[in-house]
Chains A and B, each alone.
Chain A
Amino acid sequence: MTEFLQTLTSGVALGSLYAVLALGFVIVARASGILNLAQGSFVVLGAYLAYALIHQAGLPFWAGVMVAMAAVALFAVLLEAFVLHRVSDHFAALLVTFGVTIAVAPVITGIWPGDSLNLGDPWALSVLRIGGIGITARDATLIPITAVLLLGFFLFFRYTRVGLSLRATAIDSEAAMAQGVSTRFVYGISWGIAGALGAFGGIMLSTTVGGGVRPGLEVYAFLALPVIILGGLESPLGAVVGGLIIGIVQQFAVSLVPESWGSGFSEVVPYLVMLAILLIRPAGLFGRREVRRA
């Protein structure tokens, strides 16, 4: 039982991280209809900038995290304004964002070389014990922070004017424009949020035990893609629920699957879940069925 709860907690921690990354994809997809693979570059940039700010500029950990998130958000806004805005269709946009990720990642790892850079997070290896379950201090901090972040996101979406214009643009951009919503502004905001979320995800990915800031982080951003298939491409709620499901399933795969299934099975679990979902419920848990009218 304790072992079950133990796995469940670490699954929730991993899942909330996936939820953050998936939300980054979903918010851009909702606003502008683009599957933004540049999210991978946000993750890499966020983690390495945080490393540079904390270690080379000497900022305290959380200050470094905030500044890195802001910087990546700015990068995302500029990317939208100067590159993506000039791309006319979703087909090219997907390829362009993919191109951005492949070009940015090697440059960044070239500037800060090393297989594993320690971010200097305040948790180190300390473990909290709650009723027999050991939770790493990192997970214990990560879960509430992510919960607050997601809650704030929903409140913003639901109750602010900007959130309303985001939703309006998602439903019908022309009608929103007719009501005086600036779609340029909405696109900028949504890319900025995606950038900040991606940076946060990247930083938190780098605080796992034995992880560190390392090359190949962009591949972890792509692990959020099965999440958005599971949750539905344009559903923020789906991103959160899907993230938690995939995180928990993956952690149980780590602890339950016998060795005979081969090395690295847990790493492909998200993709296998995705294939199963596409077979059973292709629109995702919270996605709308595709309706086509002529």
Chain B
Amino acid sequence: MTLTTTGAALARHARGRAPRLFDTPLKKILAIAFLVAIIAIPLNVADSYILTVLTTAAIAAIAATGLNLLTGYAGQISLGHAFFVGAGAFCGQVLGGQLGLPFLLWLPLSALFAGALGAVVAPFALRLKGPYLAIVSLGLVFIGIYAARNLPTLTGGLNGTVVTAPVSIGVLDFAALRVGPFLLSREQGMFILCWLVLAVILLAVANIVRSRSGRAMQAFRDHDLAAEVLGARRLPTMMNAFIVSSALGGLSGGLLGVELQYIRPENFGLDLSIQYVAIVVIGGLASIWGPVLGALFIGLVPVIAIRLADVLPFISKPGEQGGVSVSGFGLVVYGVLIVVFLLFRRGGLISFFRRPGRRRPLAPATTQAAAAASPPDPAPGITTHEEGHSL
């Protein structure tokens, strides 16, 4: 009986009535306010340090949105997102800097390149249920750094490379924007560019999530057997999630490269992956705005740590021996917050902004199926041999 009701629910969606993009007018207003802020903030904030922190947060949010699609919506943990970000960054410099392609070509191509890498890797990790993706993706980070170090013509090898890829669309050069009589600084231009790209990505992912494929991802996360019975196929669905997630990582990497202006293979190590995991968990898994909130929060941690280094004796200033370094302090904060949020606040920071009474299940059709069809099944974990579960 449960199957017929959920089947009907899925069929109804299949006829094209996907969940609405903005289900309340408030959300529409907030989205417009967000767009206004993207232009208004850089024009009114002159402090280049603050702008750089915010721009970096937007870039991190793009990558984290990709990871959130995979981890939050599809329920697969990846510890190797930095690999795809790095691939995008170096690819961006090769295409945009070395070959001199225009911005509108090299950035999408970098994303495609990272997506293609994801497509190559995915079959290794997704054939089995369980923590395989976490392990394989962890290995990818180390393999990626090894590869980047040993391809000096493309990546500059150990020394890394200066990023010279252009950031201009036609006459709009974001490194030196001109608004009427005013010439904007590079920081202001990059802020507008990165946050606009983020806005486009958020819209795209919000649409992916409510598409049939996106709902299939959530169905597999909640109850894979039920999802398969309803006709969704596991491998293609998970491949989709992984490839889109990798491509977004690559896109973010391309922007990160031009923002940093100098990249080395070590920039894309395990620490960066940890940062993305922290962003999605702290911001809020399986929510569109969660990664943005998480990225802003995580972006502030080093800023605060540097301030605190003057006050707290156990944080060492750069170049000082003893005590926790500023980057180490960041890792401690990420680690502790990941644990705390998963234990006490699974919804992440974003859940503080939701009014408790108005919370609805994320994917009504599938969560009902999961709840009704069998006792709650743990999300992906180690199950190489699954037994039991009778429908």
A-to-B contact residues, CB < 8 Å: 29, 33-35, 37, 83, 86-96, 98-107, 109-110, 113, 172, 219, 222, 225-226, 228-229, 232-234, 261-265, 267-268, 270-272, 274-275, 278-279, 282-283, 287-294
B379 touches A291 (CB 8 A): no
Whether B335 pairs with A278 at a CB distance below 8 angstroms is no
Q: Is B328's CB under 8 angstroms from A106's CB?
A: yes
Sample of 15 further A-B pairs with CB below 8 A, known A89-B381, A92-B379, A106-B331: A87-B342, A89-B379, A95-B277, A98-B335, A99-B338, A101-B335, A110-B322, A228-B135, A267-B142, A268-B143, A271-B143, A274-B135, A278-B136, A288-B384, A292-B386
Interface of A is mostly: helix
* A267 vs B146: C-alpha distance when bound (angstroms): 9
A278 with B125, Cβ < 8 A, contacts A91-B77, A92-B342 known:
yes
User: How far, in whole Å, are A268 and B391 apart by their CA atoms in the complex?
Assistant: 44
Which residues of A have CB within 8 Å of B277? 95, 98
Q: Are A290 and B129 touching (Cβ within 8 A)?
A: yes
CB-CB under 8 A from A93, the residues of chain B are: 381
> What CA separation (Å) do A113 and B391 show in the bound complex?
56
B124 with A287: CB separation less than 8 A: no
Could you tell me the distance in whole angstroms from the C-beta of A237 to the nearest C-beta in chain B? 15
Interface residue tally for chain B (C-beta within 8 Å): 63
- Bound complex: CA of A96 vs CA of B336, how far in Å? 9
CB distance from A291 to the nearest CB of B (A): 6
Q: In the complex, what distance in Å separates the CA atom of A109 from the CA atom of B331?
A: 12
* Minimal beta-carbon separation of B389 from chain A (angstroms): 7
A99-B338, A234-B382 known; A278 and B132 CB under 8 Å?
yes
Q: Which residues of B contact A293 (CB under 8 A)?
A: 386-389
Check if B60 is an interface residue, CB within 8 A of chain A: no
Q: Tell whether, in the assembled complex, residue B139 and residue A107 are in contact, meaning their CB atoms are under 8 Å apart.
A: no
Asked whether B324 lies within 8 Å of A226 as measured between CB atoms, the reply is no
* A172-B332 Cα distance, complex, nearest whole Å: 37
With both beta carbons as reference points, the residue of chain B lying nearest to A89 in the complex is identified as B378
Contact A100 B382 (CB under 8 A): no
CA distance A101 to B277 in the complex (A): 13
Given contacts A96-B343, A100-B339, A267-B142, contact A282 B387 (CB under 8 A): no
Q: Is B4 among interface residues, defined by CB-CB distance under 8 A?
A: no
Complex CA gap A5/B183 in Å reads 70
List, sorted by A's number, 21 A–B pairs whose CB atoms are closer than 8 Å.
Answer: A35-B381, A86-B343, A90-B379, A92-B342, A94-B381, A96-B338, A102-B334, A103-B334, A109-B328, A110-B325, A110-B328, A113-B323, A219-B270, A228-B135, A233-B382, A234-B384, A264-B146, A291-B387, A292-B225, A293-B389, A294-B389
Q: How far is the CB of A21 from chain B (nearest CB, A)?
A: 14
- Closest B residue, CB atoms, query A270: B139
